[in-house]
Structure 1
Amino acid sequence: MATDLFDRTRVVDVDTHLTEPPDVWTARVPASRHDDVPHIERIDGRDTWMAGGNRIGSPGFYSMAGHDGVMPASVPETYADIAPAMYDAKARLAFMDAEGIDVQVLYPNVGGFGNGYFLNLGDRELVTQCVRAYNDFLTDWCSAAPDRLIAITALPFWDVDLAIEEMQRCLGNGHRAINFCNQPQDYGQPPLAHRHWDPIWAAAQEAGVPVNFHVGGGSMGTQYVDTAGMGWMTHFAKTSSQIFMDNMRCVADLVFGGVCHRFPDLNFISVESGVGWIPGALETFDWQWTNGGVLDEHPEYDLLPSEYFRRQIYGCFWFENQVARDAINLYPDNILFETDYPHPTCQHPGPRTKAQRPRDYAERVFAGLPDEVTVKVLSGTADKLYGLAP
C-alpha cells in the first residue's frame, strides 16, 4: 500500500496550543481566590473566561480546527462543542496518531502567547500563583506522554529572579524550553536587547534549553480594534498577518543587541511567525550591519547577522508554499514545521475553509526537496533543540 510523507518520516509539530480546561486555576489556588483567577462562566449561552469580574475571552475562539466557517460567526459556544483533543491529553494523543504526528510542542491561550495577560490581575502574589498554576497544569497534562507532549514553561518575565526560579523549577519537572515575551517593552519592561535580561539568558544557556518567542507575545489589544471600519474579520486577518513583524523586530533585537554574541550556545525560536520573511530580513540586516557602522561601535561582534542566525536562531512555518521552500533552501538547518492546531488558521480544515490536513500540505511543500533536508525540517532539528529521542 502506498504511504505518504508522514507515514515515512517522523514529524515534530513545534507549535500547537491546548485549550485550557475550565479548572486549570480554580483547582490550584485557594477557594477564596476563585473569582479573581481565570474561571469559566456561562454567559448568554457561551462558555466565557472571567477573572476579577472581567471577561478575558472564550475558549471557542481558539478552538476552531475542523469547524465549518470562520470567526466570529462559527465559533464553538461551549466545551461540549469543542473537540476533546483540544483540551484532553489522551484525546490529543489519539488525534496525533490519526494525523501521523509523533510529537507536539504546546503553548497557552488564556495567559497570552507571551504570558503577559497575567499582569492584568494586578496583585503580584496572585499573578505568581496563576503562572505557577498554569505550569503545574501543563506538567500534569503532558505526563500522559512526556516525550510526545512537550511542555514549554510560561515565564514570569516581569521579575527576573522569579523567572529564573520558575524556569529551574519547571525544567526540573520535565519542561523542555521557556516561552518568553517577544515585546517586553509593551509591559513597561526593557526591550530584549537590554542587558537587564542577561541573567535569564545565562540561566537558559546553562540549562541547555531554547528560548521561544511566540508571535503575538506582546500586547495586542489596540491592534485588534478596527478604527478604519473595514469589518471585524477583515481587520482581524490584516492584523494577524502583520504581527509576524513583531518577531522580525524580536530577531533584530537579539542580533543587533549582542544577545547572540554574548550567549553563543543559547538557541532562540521564532514561533508561529512564518519563515518567508527570513531571507529578506537577513539580507537587510547584513547590508545595514556592514554599511551602517555597527562594527565601529561593537568591534567585538565577530559574525554577520545571517551568521548569528545560522548558528542559533530558528523559524517555524505552517501554510507558506514557495517562500517556505526558499527559506528552507537558504537555511535548511534553521527551519521547523508546525500546524498551529487548533487555532482558526491552522492546517486542519473545516468544510468551508481552504486549509487542508497537515500531511497533504507537507506532501506538496516538501516535494522535490532532498530527503535529508525534509527529515531535518520535519523532526531532526526539533529533536536536537528540545532534547527529544527519535
Structure 2
Amino acid sequence: MIDVHAHMFFDELLGKAGSAGPAIEKVGEARHEIVAGGYRWPIGPKSSLAETPRQRLDSLDEDAIDVQVLSLSPLWLFTHTPREIAAPFLRSANTFMSEWCSQQPDRLRGFAALPTVDIGAAIAELEHSVSELGLVGGYIGTDARAALDHPDMDDLYQACVDLDVPLFVHSTVPGVDGPAGDPRLDRFDWHVTLGYPHEETLAVASLIFGKVLLRHPKLDVYVSHGGGSIAFQHGRLRHFASLPRSPITVEEFDAQFSRLWFDTHVNSPESLTLLRAVANPDRLVFGTNYRGWDSGSVDEVEPIADDVVRNARTLLRTPDRATASA
C-alpha cells in the first residue's frame, strides 16, 4: 500500500521561525503542546518529535504500508510569515525531509513545503527541492492566498506543470501566523475537526469556479481529507454551475472536478462511499494522517486497494521505481 498523507516534525526546526517558534512547551504533569505562532496542539507526554526512518518503517510494517510520502506538519507551513524567515525555514525543512527519506529511498518519499508568502520564492524552492533534493512535488496550505484561484498562484501552478510534479494542498489552521479564524471554532478542537474540511471545500471550489484547471490543463492538484465536504456539496455546487450567473458551465465543472485528486482519509465507510460516488475513481489515493489523532488504516480501502496503489503511482510519476514493491 502507498500512503500519501503523513506528516513529519523535525526537532532541528524548533525555534527557527522567529516569533512563530515553533516550540514544545510543558503544560502539566507529563503533558506537552506544540506551539506554532498563535496556535497550540497537545502531544501528550512527548517532549521530542524525533523519529528515525528505521522506527517509521517498523511502524509501517505493522500497518501493512509499503511506501509513505511525507510532508511537513501543516502547522509549520507559516504561510503568512515574512519571506526572510519562511523561506530559509522551509529550505531547512525540505533538506531535512530529503535527508531523512533518502535513508530508506525505496519506501519513504517527501513533498516540498513551499513559502507561498512570496510566489517567486515558492517556485525557487520547488525547483530546488525537486531537482536537487529529489522530493516528489510541492506542498502548500489552503491559505496560500485568500483563494487558490488568485492570479498570484498561476506562476506556481505552471511551475508544477513544467517540472511534471503534483501539488499537494492541505488545510491549515487560521491564526498560526496570520489572520485569526472564526472564533466559534475555538472550542473542542473544531479548527481541525470542522475547520480543516471547510478550508479544503473552499479550496476545491476556488480551483473549479476560478477556472484554475482550465487555465492549467496538465496540472495535478491533490487535496487532503477527501477534499473536505466536497463530496457532500458536489451536487449543490454542480447545480449552481448551471445558473446564468455562474462563471463556469456544468460541463466545465465536471471536467475540472474529474481532474482533482483526493485521498481516502475521511474516517468512515459511509463518507468514503459518497466520495467514491462523485470523484474520478482514477484520482483517489490512500491517505492516513499517519499516527495522528484521526489516523486511518489500510482496511478502510480494502475493496479498492489495487486501484489506489495504481493511482498513487500515477500521481507520483513513479510507476516502476520507488513504488514498484507496493
Q: Taking structure 1 as the reference length, what is the TM-score of the superposition?
A: 0.70
Q: After superposition, where does 1:289-304 map in structure 2 within 5 Å? A: 289-294=241-246, 303-304=251-252
**CA drift at 1:274:** 3.2
CA RMSD for the aligned pairs? 3.3
Within the candidate set 100, 108, 117, 1:158 is matched to: 117
Query: Using a 3 Å threshold, how does the CA distance of structure 1 residues 277 and 128 change in structure 2: closer, same or farther?
Result: closer
Structure 2: any 5+ residue segments left out of the alignment?
none
Within the candidate set 116, 139, 143, 2:78 is matched to: 116
Cα distance between partner residues in 1 of 2:307 and 2:219: 19
**Which one-letter code corresponds to 1:198 in the other structure?**
D
Cα distance between partner residues in 1 of 2:266 and 2:250: 33
Cα distance between partner residues in 2 of 1:242 and 1:41: 24
In the alignment, which residue of structure 2 is the partner of 1:254? Answer: 207
Q: After superposition, where does 1:1-390 map in structure 2 within 5 Å? A: 11-18=1-8, 20-24=9-13, 38=22, 57=40, 61-62=42-43, 75-79=44-48, 87-109=51-73, 112=75, 115-116=77-78, 119=81, 124-172=83-131, 173-185=133-145, 190-216=146-172, 218-219=174-175, 222-223=180-181, 235-237=188-190, 240-271=193-224, 273-274=225-226, 277-294=229-246, 303-331=251-279, 332-347=281-296, 358-363=297-302, 366=303, 373-377=304-308, 379-388=309-318, 389=320, 390=324
**CA drift at 1:293:** 3.1
**CA drift at 1:36:** 8.7
Cα distance between partner residues in 2 of 1:227 and 1:17: 23
- Kept after mapping to 1: 8 A contact 2:200/2:227: no
Structure of greater Rg: 1
**Which one-letter code corresponds to 2:273 in the other structure?**
R
Query: Using a 3 Å threshold, how does the CA distance of structure 1 residues 252 and 361 change in structure 2: closer, same or farther?
Result: closer
Cα distance between partner residues in 2 of 1:35 and 1:199: 29
- Kept after mapping to 1: 8 A contact 2:198/2:228: no
Cα distance between partner residues in 2 of 1:283 and 1:166: 37
Cα distance between partner residues in 2 of 1:201 and 1:36: 27
* Superimposed CA distance per residue, residues 260-300 of structure 1 (whole angstroms, 9 cap, x where no aligned partner): 000011011111x2368334322222211111333xx66xx
**CA drift at 1:118:** 6.9
* Superimposed CA distance per residue, residues 6-58 of structure 1 (whole angstroms, 9 cap, x where no aligned partner): xxxxx11111112x2422467xx8xxx9999645566766566678xx78646
SS of the aligned residue for 1:16 comes to strand
Cα distance between partner residues in 2 of 1:156 and 1:276: 23
**Which one-letter code corresponds to 1:284 in the other structure?**
R
**CA drift at 1:117:** 5.7
Query: Using a 3 Å threshold, how does the CA distance of structure 1 residues 337 and 36 change in structure 2: closer, same or farther?
Result: closer
Query: Using a 3 Å threshold, how does the CA distance of structure 1 residues 118 and 279 change in structure 2: closer, same or farther?
Result: closer
- Kept after mapping to 1: 8 A contact 2:142/2:148: yes
Cα distance between partner residues in 2 of 1:22 and 1:56: 18
Q: Taking structure 2 as the reference length, what is the TM-score of the superposition?
A: 0.83
Query: Using a 3 Å threshold, how does the CA distance of structure 1 residues 384 and 239 change in structure 2: closer, same or farther?
Result: closer
Query: Using a 3 Å threshold, how does the CA distance of structure 1 residues 281 and 138 change in structure 2: closer, same or farther?
Result: same
* Superimposed CA distance per residue, residues 164-221 of structure 1 (whole angstroms, 9 cap, x where no aligned partner): 1000000011111111121234xxxx52112121111111011111111112265468
**Which one-letter code corresponds to 1:385 in the other structure?**
L
**CA drift at 1:241:** 2.8
**Which one-letter code corresponds to 1:140 in the other structure?**
E
Cα distance between partner residues in 2 of 1:141 and 1:201: 27
Query: Using a 3 Å threshold, how does the CA distance of structure 1 residues 163 and 55 change in structure 2: closer, same or farther?
Result: closer
SS of the aligned residue for 1:274 comes to helix
